[in-house]
Amino acid sequence: MASGEGKKSGEGKKANANAKGGGKKKEVKKETGLGLSYKKEENFGEWYSEVCVNGEMIEYYDISGCYILRPWTMAVWETMQTFFDAEIKKMKIKNCYFPLFVSPGVLQKEKDHIEGFAPEVAWVTKSGQSDLEVPIAIRPTSETVMYPYYSKWIRGHRDLPLRLNQWCNVVRWEFSHPTPFIRSREFLWQEGHTAFATKEEADKEVLEILELYRRIYEEYLAIPVIKGKKSEMEKFAGGFYTTSVEAFIPNTGRGIQGATSHCLGQNFAKMFDITFENEKGEKAMVWQNSWAYSTRTIGVMVMVHGDDKGLVMPPKVASVQIIVVPVPFKDADTQAIFDACDATVNTLNEAGFRAEADLRDNYSPGWKYSHWEMKGVPLRIEIGPKDLANKQARAVRRDNSAKIDIPIVNLVEQVKDMLDNIQQNLFDVAKQKRDACIKTVRTWDEFIEALGQKKMILAPWCDEMEVEKDVKARTKGETGAAKTLCAPFDQPDLEGVNCFVTGKPAKKWSYWGRSY
């Protein structure tokens, strides 16, 4: 994103300083006026909305629940997209694009599936002033859009596997509390839809895709996640089983489903008649998967890493990794400092970093520091007269405000080390905070106490749907009910352990908590 944006109205009127040309005075903005009105610890919801807007991630739109994704956001999305797209291509998954519109007959074919989505489906009912003869739905997800054509394209075992992915938008309309990235009426995502001859192939892919989702969160966004399986109550409507990566927001004590990889089993194959002739000449049904991650990932990143100064961007996904700011003092050779800034940016860009210089002369260095801190740029490099004389630059980290003077000759390798260190530190700090919120309980009383403390609760249970419904009903309050987040693949010992609700022998350990 270019660093030369225009000022907001009212900025730049409070402070004057000599222009480098001397004589005529030029207005230079000194006071920051950029701070957030809300603190993360005190009013998380307002802080989050404010940081998304002031950090230039989004702009509110005139239709509730819809947001403009600004270039700062799209750069993060594109980085993740580039990684994920290359990985699925290695798996021989191909990209395609299906229409946005769904006919009602097709949408209603899979009963459980449409019941799960019905309240959120938006319908087109008019064309100009005329009512449509048959209303048309806008996709909330694309199983029912795509699978009639899977039935057409799959005939024999040589047509399998069929592995497609599409990058698109979806619309889900019905909800009361829209939140940027987390709950929006339209969002961007990828959705993969695959068909196999055997359950074993489908099972294998589910976990391979889930591992890619873990890597997006942990390696790119620096957010720790837990891989696990959803309960029968929380699984994808119409699916066989659902796996997910689950993140946690310590400030609100809420879990957040990061991404899902579903095995659909043969349920949709039955509904849409997706069959093939196997090697023995017998008719068989395919096994299917679907899997998706969305722009919600970006909201989780903002929530986990952001602070009272604004966004904190992990270097791997930051649109600008290094911002170079000139610090000209009175009577300094301003042009020489600007030239040094340009040379520094060129050196860093040639070395493969994403660096920019902020050479705007109508803003003071202090204002610029606050501006780029708000936008979360991982590393700031300051160059003033002393730095010029000593052939060095001052580097300031966004994550912990640490400052270090770097000799220009060592610039590239030291910047690389610092960015690597920032990426790792963001993950380590997030994991430390998340782990401090995990509480293992064995009884109902311990569970209720931990829930009141905003914990992510690991508890043994009997894996009965009625019990989960009961827990939901008994914990319902202003902040929402507790539910299972996932049963982690990494299971503690179950021997002699009983369900925390019923006292029956436990069948699994699951994470429980309130969630987004």
Q: Which amino acid is at 193?
A: H
Q: What percent of the chain has pLDDT over 90?
A: 87
CB atoms within 10 A of CB 328: 20
pLDDT of residue 29: 52
pLDDT of residue 10: 35
Q: What value does the mean pLDDT take over residues 140-155?
A: 96
pLDDT of residue 365: 96
Looking at 216-354, list the stretches that DSSP marks H as alpha helix, in order from N- to C-terminal side: 267-272, 296-305, 334-350
Show the tokens assigned to 89.
């291509």
Q: What value does the mean pLDDT take over residues 39-62?
A: 97
pLDDT of residue 481: 93
pLDDT of residue 447: 97
Q: What value does the mean pLDDT take over residues 409-419?
A: 97
Q: What value does the mean pLDDT take over residues 409-417?
A: 97
Counted residue by residue, the chain has a size of: 516
Q: What is the pLDDT of residues 211-244, one digit of tens each?
A: 999 999 999 999 999 999 999 999 998 899 999 9
Q: What b/e string do you get for 28-60 counting C-beta neighbours within 10 Å, with b at 16 or more?
A: bbbeeebebebebeeebeebbbebbebbbbbee
Which residues make up the CATH 3.30.110.30 domain(s) of the chain? 438-514
Q: What value does the mean pLDDT take over residues 484-498?
A: 97
Closest CA to 398 of 317, 298, 326, 306: 306
Q: What b/e string do you get for 369-408 counting C-beta neighbours within 10 Å, with b at 16 or more?
A: bbbbbbbbbbbbbbbbbebbeeebbbbbbbbeeeeeebeb
CATH architecture label of 47-305: 2-Layer Sandwich (3.30)
Backbone phi and psi for residue 114, each to the nearest 5 degrees, phi listed first: -70, -30
Cβ atoms of 260 and 229 within 8 Å: the answer is: no
Show the tokens assigned to 226.
């837990």
CA distance 391 to 221: 34
Backbone phi and psi for residue 174, each to the nearest 5 degrees, phi listed first: -90, 105
Q: What is the pLDDT of residues 325-379, one digit of tens each?
A: 999 988 888 999 999 999 999 999 999 999 999 999 999 999 999 999 999 999 9
Residue 17 clears pLDDT 90, i.e. is over it: no
Q: Which CATH class is domain 438-514?
A: alpha beta
Residue 25 clears pLDDT 50, i.e. is over it: no
- For residue 401, give the DSSP letter: -
Residue 22 clears pLDDT 50, i.e. is over it: no
Instruction: Give bridge partners of residue 235 from the DSSP assignment.
Output: none
Cβ atoms of 485 and 511 within 8 Å: the answer is: yes
Cβ atoms of 76 and 335 within 8 Å: the answer is: no
Cβ atoms of 81 and 151 within 8 Å: the answer is: no
Show the tokens assigned to 65.
């629940």
Closest CA to 77 of 194, 169, 145: 169
pLDDT of residue 108: 83
Q: What b/e string do you get for 177-214 counting C-beta neighbours within 10 Å, with b at 16 or more?
A: eebbbbbbbbbbbbbbbbbbbeeebbbebbeebbebbb
pLDDT of residue 224: 98
Could you tell me the pLDDT band of residue 27, with boundaries at 50, 70 and 90? low
Q: Give the least confident one: 21-25, 72-76, 79-83, 258-262.
A: 21-25
Q: Give the least confident one: 38-42, 107-111, 144-148, 196-200.
A: 107-111
Q: How distant, in Å, are the alpha carbons of 245, 267, 394, 483, 511 from that of 254?
A: 14, 32, 39, 11, 11
Could you tell me the pLDDT band of residue 28, with boundaries at 50, 70 and 90? low
* End-to-end CA gap in the chain: 30
Mean pLDDT of the chain: 92
Show the tokens assigned to 490.
């990494």
Q: Cis peptide leading into 460, omega within 30 of 0?
A: no
Closest CA to 375 of 56, 67, 37, 74: 56
Show the tokens assigned to 294.
């969305």
Cβ atoms of 107 and 144 within 8 Å: the answer is: yes
pLDDT of residue 33: 54
pLDDT of residue 1: 39
Residue 312 clears pLDDT 50, i.e. is over it: yes
Which residues make up the CATH 3.40.50.800 domain(s) of the chain? 322-419
pLDDT of residue 171: 96
Which residues make up the CATH 3.30.930.10 domain(s) of the chain? 47-305
pLDDT of residue 13: 32
* Coil/strand/helix, residue 118: helix
Q: What value does the mean pLDDT take over residues 83-109?
A: 95
pLDDT of residue 177: 84
Cβ atoms of 31 and 16 within 8 Å: the answer is: no
Closest CA to 340 of 413, 419, 416, 411: 411
Classify domain 322-419 by CATH number.
Answer: 3.40.50.800
Could you tell me the pLDDT band of residue 255, with boundaries at 50, 70 and 90? very high
Residue 95 clears pLDDT 50, i.e. is over it: yes
